[in-house]
Amino acid sequence: MNAIARRKSLDPGQPHVMEGDASHDFANVTSGVAKLVRGAEDGRRQIVGLLFPSDFIYGSLGKSEPAGAPHSIEAVSSLELCIFPRLKFEELLRDYPSLEFKLLSRTLDELQIAREWMVLLGRKTAEERVASFFLYVTQKMNNLGCQGQTNFDLPLGRADIADYIGLTLETVSRQISKLKKDGVVGFEGTKHVIYVDREELEKRAGF
């Protein structure tokens, strides 16, 4: 597996793939966080997913003429990727069925997350969205760093959070201020989280 892999490093903000690019290869995030972004000419943006270490980036599978990438992939923090050329990767899938099964299982998880987010974007209030976001991030952080550590940096700035949960950055800021005032989350500076009341967040996150 390592034999066919190529490494790539990206600085914060740099794109790995641009919307519409003829695409491409598969990859694996080994360190850092990336965002999947869809943007309009008029400035509107929607983040459709975050990639954490161990997450996959899918090329266009089995398509003879790969379509343009549906969204850009950009580094949020310093990002390390492990890239697999498309054809080589598909060979690999054929040769190692357990790898393909794993990939299918992961993809179903991603689909589940996307649908969860559809509920958030379609039906939740501003407060519920922000609370849900905090729950999602703390869960991710715990899975990675393992264990109940409520002490980590938010992977996104206010503007990116807004684009992820379908609000404006002003509304996000106001809701975070409210959570701070109510003692539901604690901050050190603007990005570093030092305290989280998970139970209260769940109450405020809605369904």
Stretch that binds DNA, among 56-64, 68-76, 112-120, 168-176 (CB under 7 A): 168-176
The CA distance from 139 to 145, in Å, is 10
CB 121, CB 113: distance < 8 Å: no
| Partner from a copy of itself, DNA, none contacting 14, C-beta within 5 to 8 A by type | none
Shortest Å distance, C-beta 41 to DNA: 14
45 binds DNA (CB under 7 A): no
149 binds DNA (CB under 7 A): no
CA distances from 146 to 2, 28, 74, 141, 150 (A): 26, 20, 25, 7, 11
Stretch that binds a copy of itself, among 23-31, 99-107, 130-138, 150-158 (CB under 8 A): 99-107
| Partner from DNA, a copy of itself, none contacting 36, C-beta within 5 to 8 A by type | a copy of itself
Q: Is 146 helix (H, G, I), strand (E, B) or coil?
A: coil
87 binds a copy of itself (CB under 8 A): no
- In total, the chain counts a number of residues equal to 207
Could you tell me which residues come within 8 angstroms of residue 184 by beta carbon, excluding any fewer than 6 positions away?
Answer: 131, 196, 197, 200, 201, 204
Amino acid in position 204: R
Nearest Cα to Cα of residue 182 among 134, 148, 147: 134
A 10 A CB-CB count for 162 gives: 21
| Partner from DNA, a copy of itself, none contacting 177, C-beta within 5 to 8 A by type | DNA
Bridge partner residues of 82 (DSSP) = 7, 28
Return the residues of window 40-59 that contact a copy of itself according to CB under 8 A.
40-41, 44-46, 48-49, 58
Which of 52, 58 has the CB closer to a copy of itself? 58
Chain contacts with DNA (rule: CB under 7 A)? 125-127, 157-159, 166-174, 176-177, 189-191
Chain contacts with a copy of itself (rule: CB under 8 A)? 36, 38-41, 44-46, 48-49, 58, 61-62, 70-71, 93-94, 97, 100-101, 103-105, 107-108, 110-112, 114-119, 121-123, 163, 165-166, 206-207
